[in-house]
Amino acid sequence: MKKSLLALLCLLSLALACGCAEGGTESPSLPESGSTAQSTEETLPQDVSSAPEEISLPLEESFQAPSEEDSSEDNSNEEPPEESSEDSSHEEPPSESSEESEDSSDEEPPEESSEDSSDEEPPAESSEESEDEPVYDIGDAEFIPSGYLIYNGAAYNQVRYNDDAAKKYADVYAAYKKMFPALGIHVINMPASVISIANPAVRDMTVDQREVLDQMESHIYGDVNFVNLGEIFEQHRGEYLFFKSDYHWTQLGAYYAYQEFAKSVGLTPTPLSAFATEVLTDSFHGHTNDYANDSRIDSFLDTIHLYWPTKEHTMAVYLSDMSLYRVYNSTIQPSIKNYSCYLTGDQAYSEINVPENDQDKTVLVIKESSANAFVPFLTEHYGNIIVIDPRHVMLDVKKIVEEKGVDDIIFFATASTCTRDAYCNYYKRLIGK
């Protein structure tokens, strides 16, 4: 019996030894899974009895699709920035967490604000502009009781628009066009000198002179050519366009008017650089203070720059009774050291002849003194130029047109003149109205 029991125990021990040997043949395969083996080993303690079945699935997945596991791990590193505040703090600081906003406030905003301030930041630009603001300060600009503006060593005038007067003048121009339909009827109004002020702060104190001219032009009808000088004078603001002590413009200002007129009638204006220049005087004192009554203007002195016509010509001057006074060799007389050097001042009637130009091309200028610095430029194009000052002579324009073969009529006055009826009545009387 004991022998039988011992034999049974031996057989049982042998069977157990064989079972352990078989289990040992499977264990070496686990290390081959590498990092996957470590993850499976962590799950084994949960249920040792089912370990072989559960282990087989992870092992198959780890070997058959390691890229999926790897990619999921990579995604867990990449996607969290969208899902967690910690990751998002590195990528999207402004929108997702207080920590991100703190980081952005400490690191990113200074960089962004510095870039923005250099490229976009209005405050920086406005601060620069504020540094330039003294340029636009009104300085010593002051309107005096007579209506003139004293500014920067000069006296300026301005014009207020008169709608009734503008309509009356427009009607007269249209009447001339109706009477002389084959002629070019042109209107040139010298703007008030405030238009030449470059300082916008001072200009804002005044009436907009371009708007005045625009309103005058708005009433023009009947195929009349209104030469609006507003734009070109704005383009040349700051230049010496008007005298400081006189209510006339300089010959430079008159040149820009000539330039616009020539373009408006299809002529090519002679370049300013083509004219010989000369300083007639640098101590001209004009007549503004005859009306302004301000002692400061007595100290304002001007320079008269002459622009000599490029073509030889003569000018015959007649008195109010139409008797010949004198024939000059130019429309500019340098022996006269003031504004009257142009056309020798306001003469009743003058005839200018330019032999080099077409003798069948004649223009009639009905004017006041503002035209005096302008007329010399017409010698660049016309063979004959007739000048009438209706304040000093009253003639029959119809007769002049017929006898002289006039092609164009230019009405030339200041914008200020065209706010009053006086010249309008002169124009009408010249055609028997």
Instruction: Look at residue 136 in the predicted model and tell me its pLDDT.
Output: 75
pLDDT in tens, 188-215: 999 999 999 999 999 999 999 999 999 9
Q: Which residues are registered as beta bridge partners of 332?
A: 342
Dist CA 89 CA 91 (whole Å): 6
Query: Percent of the chain at pLDDT above 90?
Result: 68
Instruction: Look at residue 242 in the predicted model and tell me its pLDDT.
Output: 98
Instruction: Look at residue 433 in the predicted model and tell me its pLDDT.
Output: 87
Q: Which residue has the tokens 């203070």?
A: 289
Instruction: Look at residue 372 in the predicted model and tell me its pLDDT.
Output: 98
Using CA atoms, how far residue 245 sits from 288, 413, 420, in Å, is: 6, 19, 23
Question: How does pLDDT run along the chain (433 residues), one tens digit per residue?
Answer: 545 555 555 555 554 444 444 444 443 433 443 343 343 333 333 333 333 333 333 333 333 333 333 433 343 333 333 333 344 333 333 333 333 333 333 333 333 333 343 444 444 444 444 455 555 789 899 999 999 999 999 999 999 999 999 999 999 999 999 999 999 999 999 999 999 999 999 999 999 999 999 999 999 999 999 999 999 999 999 999 999 999 999 999 999 999 999 999 999 999 999 999 999 999 999 999 999 999 999 999 999 999 999 999 999 999 999 999 999 999 999 999 999 999 999 999 999 999 999 999 999 999 999 999 999 999 999 999 999 999 999 999 999 999 999 999 999 999 999 999 999 999 999 999 8
Instruction: Look at residue 67 in the predicted model and tell me its pLDDT.
Output: 38
Task: Indicate the burial class of 11 (C-beta count within 10 angstroms; 0-12, 13-18, 19 or more).
Answer: exposed
Cβ contacts of residue 134 below 8 Å, gap of 6+?
Answer: none
pLDDT in tens, 391-400: 999 999 999 9
Dist CA 369 CA 389 (whole Å): 8
Domain boundaries, the chain: 146-429
Q: At what angle do helices 98-106 and 108-119 cross, to 10 degrees?
A: 60
Task: Indicate the burial class of 243 (C-beta count within 10 angstroms; 0-12, 13-18, 19 or more).
Answer: buried
